[in-house]
Structure 1
Amino acid sequence: MPRSAPAPGLQEIVLTANEVRPADDVIRGLATEYGSTEDLGLLTTLAGCRDTLPARLSDALAGARSRQGCPVTVVRRPRPAEDIGATPPHWRLRGRTATAVHDLWLALVAVQVGDPVCWQTLQDGRLFNDVLPIEGQERAQTGHSSVNDLAFHVEDAFDDDRCDMLALMCLRNRERTATTVATTSRIDVGTEEYEPLYRPRFAIRPDPEHLKAGAAGDLPPVWRPVVFGDSRSQPYLRVDPTYTTTAPGDEMAERAFARLCRQLERALVRVRLRPGDLMLIDNYRAVHGREPFRPRYDGTDRWLRKLTLTFDLQRSLRRRQGGGRALALS
């Protein structure tokens, strides 16, 4: 079972009201000035507001971008006073301005780490995505499930141009349902029995949310390693057990993958986000999931906002122009 945070590979930064006041003053002004939080001009403006963040947070964000810091950073702050309204029953029904101030705090922190990007195949290509329960999807292995565990995974592991960093902000979490994370600092895949993991012997399918919009649903499987990088002691991960298969008869790869998954399961840590809390997850050095909860569909259910970030925007643009996946900039 997951352990309680803090743990190796995870850092927690607790900010005071005085520390967040300069950023909040700027954010409220921008929320009034701009009509949409998905305006690229607004993101450019936010990128230049780094000085409104406390130095200790800026230092941690620089470490996240360079991959020299912790793979998982939790930023806790006093809860913003603005009312977000009821948790919507579906991401399409979210009020366009209800979460503006919260989104701007999420974006202000996130753009110091990377450039926000989004998928055309997810939530109509919106830059900010909603993570909330949807009736009828309770047992799906997506961010809209609830009554089952959301199994640990790397975000969009099926794609070569997946995000470098995932940023989650909690808007509501009445039951204190835990987000689960495990980092490469807690596993050992350097011995011979794990060698198949470094070879292209695994096929990873897109999850149902991508397939609904036709992402790679009719393409043949592409075989990839699930562990890679220059360091065997701190490898990069491409792990999504729910959607991963090995070739028929490849028992060595199947056994190695099962061992890796058992290690990650034992390394899982529970992080209970409160409203206003923000979590940054390195999508190459950590996996994430979620504990089960019982949805009510009465406007009080758990609700997170999500941004996905790239460290190399030009690389993403080149891959898109070269026929890569449907990665889109808002």
Structure 2
Amino acid sequence: MRKSAPVPDIQEVVLTARETRHADDVIRRLVSEYSTTDDLGLLARLAEHRGSLPAHLTDVLAGVRSRLGSAVTVIRRPRLDENTGATPSHWKLRGRTATAAHDLWLAMVSTQVGDPVCWQTLQEGRLFNDILPIEGHEHEQTGHSSVNNLDFHVDDAFDDDRCDVLALLCLRNQDLTATTVATVGALVDVSAEDHEVLRQPRFALLPDPEHLKASGPGVPSAVWRPVLFGDSRPYLRVDPAYTTTAPADDEAARAFSRLCRRLEGALVPVRLRPGDLVLIDNYQAVHGREPFKPRYDGTDRWLRKLTLTFDLQQSRGRRRAGSRALALS
């Protein structure tokens, strides 16, 4: 395994076919035994195969889990030869077995970092989510938009129990549309005065439309929170598209605007190819996406997404009843 030249707070790992052979053999065997990755028994079986990944990769993943590694980790590997079929026109139309091998690779890597969790209000509570363009959603600030920038954000910033890490696996991206990322390293020059303001609960965060459409239990209206928190190296709670300040609080609005300009200026493009996987620390990095022109012909960009928590028991204790479906215990 070789590593590319370092990018600040972003690391890249490139795996060879030889290094993934053992994991791929396990994946093919499990796919043949189970009809769908919706079967949680299949995911539980992955715990028996922790040794299938190269040791150097598991070391990197341990760094992600401990937050001693980089905030963004890109893992590139030879493309899996299993055919996923055409990109669906909607996440509801994905074939139940189409992505099984890819989902297991995503889960095999991701479960070394944290426990998978999901929202009841997103994609009918499915553990694996689809990121793909949907006709009629082109201009929305969600993972189903296309022709506009998907603005940088932290996933589910409105919720105190949001995921620690999100994992995105590329199935198709023939235009090499970039996922954009920026990390807390961009904030080293934020003034002490802005830090003080941004660490106060003067910012109203709203759920994005995907949560609201589902009308699920436990989805709140705006919550007032700080957008920076933690000790010397701050954690982020930033989602500009769904964040407001009180009408008369010009100080908070200006500080937030300066914070967003710093993050926007630090965005780095990450271009995923089929088989590539990116792990994004949801407290130390923001992510978005470049615009692209959808074709709706089965060849559009298609990612699979898994969200992870570092402490499943703590997450279960914090969550509001019904707001979050915990996948594995």
Task: State the TM-score, normalizing by the size of structure 2.
Answer: 0.95
Aligned to 1:211: 212
Q: Is the 8 A contact 1:43 1:111 kept in 2?
A: no
- The answer to whether residue 121 in structure 2 is matched with residue 124 in structure 1 is no
Residues 233-285 of structure 1 show CA distances to partners (whole Å, capped at 9, x for unaligned) of x2100000000000111111111100100100011000000000000000000
Residue 39 of structure 1 deviates from its aligned partner by: 2.2
- The answer to whether residue 53 in structure 2 is matched with residue 53 in structure 1 is yes
Aligned to 2:100: 100
Residue 219 of structure 1 deviates from its aligned partner by: 4.6
Q: Is the 8 A contact 1:89 1:299 kept in 2?
A: yes
Aligned to 2:193: 192
Q: Is the 8 A contact 1:197 1:256 kept in 2?
A: yes
Distance (whole Å) between structure 1 residues aligned to residue 306 and residue 91 of structure 2: 14
Distance (whole Å) between structure 1 residues aligned to residue 245 and residue 178 of structure 2: 31
Question: What amino acid is aligned across from residue 49 of structure 2 in structure 1?
Answer: C
Question: What amino acid is aligned across from residue 75 of structure 1 in structure 2?
Answer: I
Distance (whole Å) between structure 1 residues aligned to residue 162 and residue 212 of structure 2: 16
Q: How does 1:150-299 map to 2 (within 5 A)?
A: 150-188=150-188, 189=190, 191-215=192-216, 219-231=220-232, 234-299=233-298
Distance (whole Å) between structure 1 residues aligned to residue 250 and residue 321 of structure 2: 31
Distance (whole Å) between structure 2 residues aligned to residue 296 and residue 33 of structure 1: 35
Alpha carbons of structure 1 residues 324 and 222: separation in structure 2 relative to 1, 3 Å: farther
Residues 8-55 of structure 1 show CA distances to partners (whole Å, capped at 9, x for unaligned) of 110000000000000000000011112221222222221232211111
Aligned to 2:137: 137
Q: How does 1:21-32 map to 2 (within 5 A)?
A: 21-32=21-32
Q: Is the 8 A contact 1:37 1:103 kept in 2?
A: yes
Q: Is the 8 A contact 1:159 1:325 kept in 2?
A: no
Residues 95-132 of structure 1 show CA distances to partners (whole Å, capped at 9, x for unaligned) of 00011001100000000000000000000000000000
Q: Is the 8 A contact 2:203 2:244 kept in 1?
A: yes
Residue 190 of structure 1 deviates from its aligned partner by: 5.3
- The answer to whether residue 312 in structure 2 is matched with residue 329 in structure 1 is no
Please, which runs of 5 or more residues in structure 1 have no aligned partner? none
Distance (whole Å) between structure 2 residues aligned to residue 83 and residue 220 of structure 1: 41
Aligned to 2:69: 69
Distance (whole Å) between structure 1 residues aligned to residue 219 and residue 271 of structure 2: 38
Residue 215 of structure 1 deviates from its aligned partner by: 4.8
Residue 325 of structure 1 deviates from its aligned partner by: 6.0
- The residue matched to 2:275 in structure 1 has which SS? coil
Residue 202 of structure 1 deviates from its aligned partner by: 0.4
Residue 220 of structure 1 deviates from its aligned partner by: 4.8
Distance (whole Å) between structure 2 residues aligned to residue 212 and residue 205 of structure 1: 13
Alpha carbons of structure 1 residues 26 and 159: separation in structure 2 relative to 1, 3 Å: same
Residue 194 of structure 1 deviates from its aligned partner by: 2.8
Q: Is the 8 A contact 1:161 1:325 kept in 2?
A: no
Residue 195 of structure 1 deviates from its aligned partner by: 1.4
Please, which runs of 5 or more residues in structure 2 have no aligned partner? none
Residue 186 of structure 1 deviates from its aligned partner by: 2.2
- The residue matched to 1:13 in structure 2 has which SS? strand
Residue 218 of structure 1 deviates from its aligned partner by: 8.1
Alpha carbons of structure 1 residues 324 and 259: separation in structure 2 relative to 1, 3 Å: farther
Q: Which moves more between the two structures, 94-103 or 34-43?
A: 34-43
Residue 317 of structure 1 deviates from its aligned partner by: 1.4
- The residue matched to 1:257 in structure 2 has which SS? helix
Task: State the TM-score, normalizing by the size of structure 1.
Answer: 0.95
Question: What amino acid is aligned across from residue 157 of structure 1 in structure 2?
Answer: A
Question: What amino acid is aligned across from residue 249 of structure 1 in structure 2?
Answer: A
Q: Is the 8 A contact 2:15 2:75 kept in 1?
A: yes
